[in-house]
Amino acid sequence: MQSSTIVNGKQRKTSPSEKSPEVGVVIDGSSHAARPGERLVDLINRVGVKLPQVCYHPQLGPVQTCDTCLIEIDGQLVRACATAVSEGMSVSTVSPRAHAARQEAFDRILSNHMLYCTVCDNNNGNCTVHNTTKLMAIEHQQIPFKTKPYEVDNTNPFYRYDPDQCVLCGRCVEACQNVEVNETLSINWDDPHPRVLWDGGSNIGESSCVSCGHCVTVCPCNALMEKSMLGHAGFLTGISKRALNSMIDVVKGVEPETGYSSILRVSEIESAMRESRIRRTKTVCTYCGVGCSFNIWTKDRHILKVEPLEGPANGISTCIKGKFGWDYVNDPDRLTKPLIREGDGFREASWDEALDLVARKFTEIKAKHGPDSLAFISSSKCTNEESYLMQKLARGVIGTNNIDNCSRYCQAPATTGLFRTVGHGGDSGSIHDIENASLVLIIGSNTAESHPVLATRVKRAHKLHGQKLIVSDLRENEMARRADLFLHPKPGTDLVWLSAITRYLLENGLAHEDFLRQWVNGLEDYRKALAPFTMEFASQTCGLPVETLEKVAHMIAEASGVCILWAMGVTQQSQGSDTSTAISNLLLVTGNYMRTGTGAYPLRGHNNVQGAGDCGAAPATLPGYQSVDDPQVRARFEAGWKVKLSSTKGLDNHQMVDAIHQGKVKSLYLEGEEMAIVDSNANHVAAAFSKLDFFVVQDIFFSTTCRFADVVLPATPSLEKDGTFTSTERRIQRLHQVFEPIAGSRPDWKITRDIANRLGANWNYAHPSEIMSEMASLSPLYAGVNYERLEGFKSLQWPVAADGSDQPLLYTQKFNFPDGKARLFPVTWSGPVEKSNTEFDLHLNNGRLLEHFHEGNLTYRVKGIKEKTPDVFVEISPELAQERGVQSGTWLLLISRYGQVRVRALVTDRVSGRELYMPMNSTESPVNRLTSSITDTVTHTPAFKETSVHMQILPEIGESPLPRVNPRFGHPTPQQGVETERKWKRPDYRFPGSELVQIQQK
C-alpha cells in the first residue's frame, strides 16, 4: 500500500519505509486518524463527511477553481483540496461562514451551467453538478445563468463540447496537461468569456487532440460528452433538437416557482428508470499490453460509453482505441456461420458439420503422419484460459508440442534476455515503479503511440516530478522530442552502445560494486566479454559521438533509480535476445533492480501476449514456463490431465512455416491471428498456407489468412466472453462478458473444448473459471489465482502464491535462481544480417500508430478512427524527399528482396536521411510483404526491423495520406495545469466569504 504527501501543492507517493505515525485531526468535533501529508479533502471523504467539491478529483489533485470545498480552520477559510492535514488540526465544515462561502462559490458555477437534468443524457446519477445542487439544497440561483457567445463544437468524431454547459472547473485541462500530458486544452482566463480551448482556439477536429477521452471522463457535467451517449442514454433525450429545446424551456420555466428540488426529484426518477436498461460491465482493453480496465456502459448492444475510473493500471486514463475503438463488435462483417471450403470458395455449414470435419481430418492426419504433423497457434488477443486450452489440445489430445503464439514475433527475445539474467520473463515491477524512477531510458519503443497510457505516466513524471528521460530510436517520435537526450544510432546497433556504456561504467568506478558483490554472479567472465566494446568502437559502429555516450553513462550512474523500457525496435532484430540481455546486464552492473524506480520493462505489444506465454502456448514450456523436458513437470501434468506427454520440444511458428514447405507439417489450427500478413516475409508464409492439407482458422472476421483456410470458425471478441488477460506488468485481470455472443459465433474456449471432445477428450469445463483453477493447480506461477480474487477491479501480479499473495515488484528478496543471485550473461556482436547496398539503398523501419492496432482489422471498422487515419503511408525525410522529388501524397513502389508494396509518401522530420518508416496498418499494402525470413538466432523472432528497400517513384500524386484532422497537424499549448492563479487575478473574481481572508495557494 502506498501513502502520499503533499509537496508544493502536488501529491507525492511515498514508500512504506517513509511512513510516519498517524496524526490526529478533529472534523466537526469528531476525532479521526489521518496519514501524514494526506489531503484534507481525502480524509473528509474517507470518513464520510459530506462536503461539496466540483473541481476536485482524487486522480487530478487540487485544481482549486471551484471554491466549493471551503472549510474553516482556526478562523480562516481554506480549500480542503489544497490543505494537508497536520497534528491537532481542528476543522469545521459546518460553520456558518464556510457554508455561506460554499453557497456563494456554487452559485457562480451555476451561472455558467443550465440545469435541465430531466432531459439531459448525462442524468445518470454521476453528474457532479447535479449531485452538488442536491447536496447543498440549492433551490434558486442568485446569479442568473448567462449564455456564452460560442457554438457547440461537434468537430471531433467521438465527443462534443458545449461551452454553455461548461462550469470552467478546469478538470479537463488538468487531465490533458498533467495526466495525459498531450497539452492540448487550456482556459484563457483573461478572455471576457472564458471557455475551454483546444490548441489555444482551434476547433477540436483540427487540433492536436488525440481523442484519448481523459477530458470527457473527468468532466463533472454534460459539457463534454461522448456522442454515443447523445440521444441514447435517457428516456427523454432521443428526440429532435427543437423538441428537446422546448422541453428544456419548460423545465427552466417552472424553476422560479418550484425551486430546483422538485425538478431534481423528477430527474432522479428518470435516472433511476435508466438502471433498468443501462448495464455497466467491467472489462479489460483488447488492444495493447498496458492492461487498461474500465466499465463499459451499454443499452442492448449499443455501447454508450467507456468509463475508466478504478483500473489498477490506468485509473481515469484511456487512449483513442480503448475509449472509442469498439465499433467492430457490432460490425456487419462479423462471422456468424462456420465456413467450409468448396473449390475456390466457401459454403456455410452448421457447427456440428464443421467441428466433425475438423475432428475427422485431425484424426486422419495424425494416424497417417503422426502427431507432429499437426501444429497449433494460439492468439494474444484471446484469454489466458483459451491459450491454456489450445496448448492442452495440442499436447494432451494430439500429442505434440507444436504450439506457439505471436509473442514469437515480438517479445520472445526480451523474455529470453530476462530469463538469462534475472530468472523471470516479465516486467520487473509496475507502471507505478516506472513513475518512481529518477531516469527512464526508452530503447526502440514508440511508447506514446504503442503504449499510450503507460507513456502518460512517464510524461507526467518527466513534466512534474523531475524525472530524466533518454530515448534511443530511429525516429524522433513524441517521447524522443520530449527527452532530455535523444540518441539516433545506426539501425540494429543498440547492443554495441549498451555494452560500451556498461564497460565504461565498470572501468571508471561508476558501477554499483556492493550490489555486484552481494547479488550478481559472473562478473569476471562478463568483463572479458566486454573487451571489444570500447567507446570508440561504439561511436564508429553506432554513429554516436563518444561525448554523447559518456553523457548517457554519467546520467545513468548519477540517477538514484533507472528503469529501461524497450519494445520491438530492439526485439525484432537478428540479435534481439542479445540486445535484451545487454539491457539487463547494464541494469545489474548499476544496481538497478530490487527496489521501486528500477528495473527492466519490455513493453508487451498485445493485450495478452504476456498471458499467452504464461499459459504454455510455446513449444518448449508448459504453463508457468515449466520445461517440457523436465520429468517432474511432465509427471505433474500427466497426472492432472491423465495423458502421456511428449518430451520433445515442438516447432515455433517460424519453424512451422518452414516445416510446411518441407512437407513435415500437414495441418495447422490457427486461433485469432492474421498470420498471412503479420508474419515476416508474408509472401513466403502465404505460400506455405496454400500447401497445407488441412487448415483451420478461428476468427471474428474473414481475414486475409482465412482465404487459405479449409474451415473457418466464427469466434467472439473479448466483450462477448469471460476470462482473464495478463498485461505487461504481469497483472492478471478479469474481463466480464458485456454482450451475449452474436448469433452463430462462439467463444474460443468453447470451440477448442468441443473439438477436443470430438477427438476423445472428456473436457467438461462449463466456465473459464474452471480452466483457470486447473491451470493454477499445475503452475506455481499462478498458484493462488482464482476468479474470486480477481472480482471487479481487483488484480494479481505473478508470481502468485497459493495464499493469494502476489509480487507487484520482483526481486525484493532475491533473484529467481537457486542461489538467489542474478547472472551477468556475456554477449557478442555480429551486426544486422541484411544490410543496404547500391540496389536496396534505403533502410525501412516499421511499427505501430496511435490510432490503429496492427493491420487494422478492428480499428478500420471504427468510423472516427478511419476519419483520423484513413490509410497506410510511408514516412520519408525532408532531405530524401527533396533529393528524389517526392512530396506528401506521391505514390511510391517499395521493393525489397522479398516483395513489393504500393504506398503513398508522407514527408516528415520524424525520420531522417535514408531511413523510412512504414506503419503496419494495412491489409492491402502490408509492410510484411517486404520483410525477410531472417530471425533472431535464439528465439526465431523475425528481424522485421532489418529491411532494405529500393524506392521507385510512380507518376501519380494523390492527397496527403494523413488528413488535416489528424492530430499531428495540431499545435499543443503546454502549460502547468489549469493555471488557476490567473483566474484569481481576474477583476471579477472574489474569494468567497471575504476578500480579506488568507487563502492557501498552490
The residue count of the chain comes to: 1002
Q: How many CB atoms lie within 10 A of CB 831?
A: 15
pLDDT digits (tens, 9 = 90+) for 884-942: 999 999 999 999 999 999 999 999 999 999 999 999 988 888 999 999 999 899 999 88
Nine cell digits for residue 484: 532530455
pLDDT higher than threshold 90 for residue 411 = no
| C-beta separation of 807 from 509 below 8 A | no
Using the structure block, give the residue that is written with the C-alpha cell 451517449. Answer: 229
Say if residue 12's pLDDT is above 80.
Answer: no
- pLDDT score recorded for residue 236: 78
Residue 772, amino acid: M
Q: What percent of the chain has pLDDT over 70?
A: 96
Positive or negative: CA dihedral 859, 863, 869, 872: positive
Q: What is the pLDDT of residue 995?
A: 52
Q: Above 50 in pLDDT, residue 7? A: no
Read off the pLDDT band of 624 (50, 70, 90). Answer: very high
Strands 731-735, 723-726: pairing is antiparallel
How far, in Å, CA of 1002 to CA of 1000, rounded? 7
Of residues 1001 and 225, more confidently modeled? 225
Q: How confident is the model at residue 994 (pLDDT cuts 50, 70, 90)?
A: low
How do residues 497-531 score in pLDDT, each as one tens digit?
999 999 999 999 999 999 999 999 999 999 999 99
Contact 251, 245 (CB under 8 A): no
Contact 214, 175 (CB under 8 A): yes
Q: How many other C-beta atoms can be found within 10 angstroms of the C-beta atom of residue 891? A: 16
pLDDT for 679: 87
Give mean pLDDT, residues 732-748. Answer: 97
Least confident of 686-690, 837-841, 922-926: 922-926
In this structure, what are the phi and psi dihedrals at residue 590, rounded to the nearest 5 degrees?
Answer: -100, 5
Report pLDDT digits (tens) over 455-476: 999 999 999 999 999 999 999 9
Residue range 648-655: average pLDDT?
Answer: 95
Q: pLDDT tens across 873-884, in order?
A: 999 999 999 999
3-state secondary structure of 771: helix
| 120 Cβ contact partners less than 8 Å away, ≥ 6 residues apart | 127, 222, 234, 237, 267
Residue 133 CA neighbour count, 13 Å, CB half: 30
pLDDT at 997: 41
What amino acid is encoded at 437 in this protein? A
Measured over the CA atoms of residue 96, residue 99, residue 103 and residue 104, the dihedral's sign is positive
d(CA 147, CA 209): 26
What is the average pLDDT across 618-633?
96
Please count the other Cβ atoms lying within 10 Å of the Cβ belonging to residue 774: 19
Query: What is d(CA 99, CA 407) in angstroms, rounded to the nearest whole number?
Result: 59
846, 919 Cβ separation under 8 angstroms: yes
Mean of pLDDT over the chain = 93
For residue 398, which of 761, 649, 775 has the smallest C-alpha distance? 761
pLDDT greater than 60 at residue 306? yes
| 8 A C-beta contact, residue 590 and residue 599 | no
Alpha carbon 430 to chain centroid distance?
13
pLDDT at residue 958, as a whole number: 87
Per-residue pLDDT band for 947 (boundaries 50, 70, 90) equals very high
In Å, what is the CA distance from 759 to each residue of 355, 377, 753, 813, 934? 10, 18, 10, 46, 37
What cell does 26 get?
Answer: 478533529
Burial 369-405 (b: 16+ CB within 10 A, else e): bebbbbbbbbbbbbbbbbbbbbbbbbbbbbbbbbbbb
- In single-letter form, the type of residue at position 998 comes to Q
pLDDT band at residue 246, thresholds of 50, 70 and 90? confident
For residues 47-58, give the mean pLDDT. 96
If one compares 474 and 269, the residue with the highest pLDDT of the two is 474
Question: Given a cut of 60, is residue 806 above it in pLDDT?
Answer: yes
Count of helix runs (H) and strand runs (E) in the chain: 32, 39
Instruction: Give yes or no for residue 11 having a pLDDT over 70.
Output: no
The distance from CA 200 to its chain's CA centroid, rounded to whole angstroms, is 28
Burial class (CB in 10 A: 0-12, 13-18, 19+), 911: buried
What distance lies between CA 510 and its chain's CA centroid? 35
Rg from Cα positions in the chain: 29
Q: Quick check: 3 pLDDT over 70? A: no
Beta bridge partners of 916: 844
Report, as an integer, the average pLDDT of 965-977: 96
Confidence of residue 5 (pLDDT cuts 50, 70, 90): very low
Cell numbers describing residue 390: 489450445
Confidence of residue 9 (pLDDT cuts 50, 70, 90): very low
- What mean pLDDT comes out for the span 71-75? 93
Is a pLDDT exceeding 70 seen at residue 968? yes
Instruction: Give residue-wise pLDDT tens across range 330-373.
Output: 999 999 999 999 999 999 999 999 999 999 999 999 999 999 99
What is the arithmetic mean of pLDDT over 116-138?
90
Per-residue pLDDT, 4: 41
Q: Does the pLDDT of residue 247 top 80, yes or no?
A: no
- Residue 620: which of 408, 890, 916 has the closest Cα? 408
Q: Which of 9-13, 289-293, 592-596 has the least mean pLDDT?
A: 9-13
pLDDT at position 255 is 66
Of all residues in the chain, the percent with pLDDT exceeding 90 is 86
- Does position 140 have pLDDT exceeding 80, yes or no? yes
855 close to 923: Cβ distance less than 8 angstroms: yes
**pTM strictly above 0.85:** yes
Strands (E) across 684-750 are located at 694-699, 711-714, 723-726, 731-735
799: preceding bond cis by omega (within 30 degrees): yes
Residue 775 reports pLDDT greater than 90:
yes
* Pairing outcome for strands 403-404 and 374-377: parallel
Asked if 111 and 193 count as a contact pair (C-beta separation under 8 A), the reply is no
3-state secondary structure of 973: coil
9: left (phi over 0), alpha (psi -120 to 50) or beta: left
Classify 204 in phi/psi space as left (phi over 0), alpha (psi -120 to 50) or beta: alpha
**Strands (DSSP E) along 152-248, which ranges?**
159-161, 185-187, 196-198, 224-226
| C-beta separation of 959 from 890 below 8 A | no
> Which pLDDT value is given to residue 923?
83
Of 15-19, 73-77, 463-467, the least confident: 15-19
Cell of 161: 463540447
Tell me the C-alpha distance between 87 and 38, whole Å.
11
